[in-house]
Amino acid sequence: MAISEQEATEKRSSKTVRFVIERQESAEAQPYTEEFEIAWRPGMNVIAALMEIQRNPVNASGQETKPVTWESNCLEEVCGACTMVINGKPRQACSALVDKLTQPIDLKPMRTFPVVRDLVVNRSRMFDILKRVKAWVPIDGTYDLGPGPRMAESERQWAYELSKCFTCGSCVEACPNVNEKTGFIGAFAISQARLFNTHPTGSMHKDERLEALMDEGGIHECGNSQNCVQVCPKGIPLTTSIAAMNRDVNRHAFSSWLKK
């Protein structure tokens, strides 16, 4: 039997979405969980749901509570600020659509990084590691140096794939070798080292990057679990980069030994 437009509207408005959120008052506080239930809206993503909770911070028991804290910026899967563990998988809240998630939707902060509050974490560890592997193209001079060297189209295409990394932290969170007992730098850094080692100008510091990958926490601590490539939101061939850099590191180590 067909229902009226008014009945259809009332049915949609009565639909709700339930969230189980792991919260933490501060970096030193103990985590706890809190449930929320909000009205469903078509096309809603996790960020929109969190904004709804922020507007009306009342938990599923009807008690007023503190608004949930999270980070977001670009809202188009570019900045990585809203990365969190959603239903057990690290991903971006801006591209996680509520209708495609199993309820209740479980939200947790990435525990590989220090938690600042609730779903906000400090990802500065990743940026420090990028400094360690010199993930940039060095350019000297305070004047116009003119156009740089050109890359072959075949090289440019795969280099572009590696350049899609936006330091979201998903690969680090999913890696079993990144924990409190190891200093493994993570797949993202290895892939970025490969990117800049193959750049015509960046290759000037190739040996320094390889040396960094040979240090404590370097490429030798990768356990080849391949979790990184499965969770990368940009589909970056991280395991391919790890294999390529592992070969380059071994060649560099052997060459350095022969020069002694």
pLDDT at residue 253 is higher than 60: yes
Determine how many CB atoms are found less than 10 A away from the CB of residue 257.
8
pLDDT of residue 51: 97
CB neighbour class for 75 (10 Å; exposed up to 12, middle 13-18, buried from 19): middle
Domains of the chain, CATH where assigned:
15-121 (3.10.20.30), 124-136+152-259 (1.10.1060.10)
What is the average per-residue pLDDT within 166-180?
94
CA 159, CA 36: separation in Å to the nearest integer?
43
What is the average per-residue pLDDT within 81-102?
97
Tell me which long-range contacts 202-209 makes (C-beta under 8 A, separation of at least 24). 202/136, 202/137, 202/138, 204/138, 205/134, 205/138, 207/252, 208/134, 209/133, 209/134
Q: Which residue is listed with tokens 């449930």?
A: 35
CA 121, CA 114: separation in Å to the nearest integer?
6
CA 53, CA 47: separation in Å to the nearest integer?
10
pTM for the model stands at 0.88
The CA-based angle 23-25-28, given to 5 degrees, is 110
| Arithmetic mean of pLDDT over the chain | 91
